[in-house]
């Protein structure tokens, strides 16, 4: 197994090439002594259910996993809470205004972006919207549709954490 920081060759503090594996989570610079700890990036996932009990599913407009199913969501920005991020991401991708966001569960993931492995912690929220009239695919989404929970197929979802989340929603989680 490759070290999570195998793509980092230079110390981010001093630029030295003597940036070596320190342990499973870090690299240390032999030049300046700086230790860089690699932690997961936080991301949010919205589970939005309509009055018929169907789940809002997005089709990814961009890589990774372009053309596959996804749930609305994305990375949490600096200085933003998970609840703020899920509201922002849902609005950016669907036009919907979320009225409540309740934590469901989290799943670790590796999100490959431009050939770079980003370790993430994907935080799933049950989200409510009062009005679906503004629903429109935008940003990273090419299409939106509601699918009955019983008809969701995890294999249709391109990202590993979302597949696992769909499995959990289908079997264990009450939404």
pLDDT in tens, 30-39: 999 999 998 9
DSSP structural state of residue 140: T
Please state, in angstroms and rounded to a whole number, the distance separating the CA atoms of residues 164 and 121: 13
Q: Name 173's Cβ contacts closer than 8 Å, sequence gap at least 6.
A: 104, 105
- Other Cβ atoms less than 10 A from the Cβ of 51: the count is 7
Residue for token pair 């089709």: 59
User: pLDDT confidence of 86, banded at 50, 70, 90?
Assistant: very high
Q: Under CATH, domain 41-171 is a member of which superfamily?
A: Nucleoside Triphosphate Pyrophosphohydrolase (3.90.79.10)
Does residue 145 register a pLDDT over 80?
Answer: yes
* The model's pTM: 0.91
Does residue 15 register a pLDDT over 80?
Answer: yes
Peptide bond into 35 cis (omega under 30): no
Q: Is the dihedral of CA 112, 156, 59, 150 positive or negative?
A: negative
Q: Where are the domains of the chain?
A: 1-38, 41-171
Contact of 137 with 94, CB cutoff 8 Å: yes
Q: What is the 3-state secondary structure (H, E, C) of 90-136?
A: HHHHHCCCCCEEEEEEEEEEEEEECCEEEEEEEEEEEEECCCCCCCC
Q: Is the dihedral of CA 72, 136, 129, 147 positive or negative?
A: negative
User: pLDDT confidence of 113, banded at 50, 70, 90?
Assistant: confident
User: pLDDT confidence of 6, banded at 50, 70, 90?
Assistant: confident
Q: State how beta strands 41-48 and 116-128 pair.
A: parallel
Report the catalytic residues: 143
What percent of the chain is predicted at pLDDT more than 70?
99
Residue for token pair 């990273």: 140
């Amino acid at each position: 197994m490759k070290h999570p920081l195998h793509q980092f060759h230079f110390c981010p503090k001093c630029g030295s090439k003597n940036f070596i594996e320190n342990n499973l989570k870090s690299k240390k610079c032999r030049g300046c002594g700086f230790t860089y700890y690699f932690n997961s990036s936080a991301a949010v996932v919205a589970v939005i259910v309509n009055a018929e009990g169907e789940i809002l599913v997005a089709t990814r407009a961009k890589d990774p996993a372009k053309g596959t199913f996804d749930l609305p969501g994305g990375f949490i920005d600096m200085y933003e809470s998970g609840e703020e991020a899920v509201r922002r991401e849902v609005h950016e991708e669907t036009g919907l205004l979320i009225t409540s966001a309740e934590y469901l569960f989290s799943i670790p993931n590796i999100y490959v972006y431009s050939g770079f492995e980003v370790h993430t912690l994907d935080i799933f929220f049950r989200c409510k919207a009062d009005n679906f009239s503004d629903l429109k695919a935008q940003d990273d989404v090419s299409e939106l549709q509601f699918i009955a929970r019983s008809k969701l197929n995890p294999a249709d979802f391109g990202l590993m954490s979302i597949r696992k989340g769909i499995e959990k929603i289908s079997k264990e989680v009450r939404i």
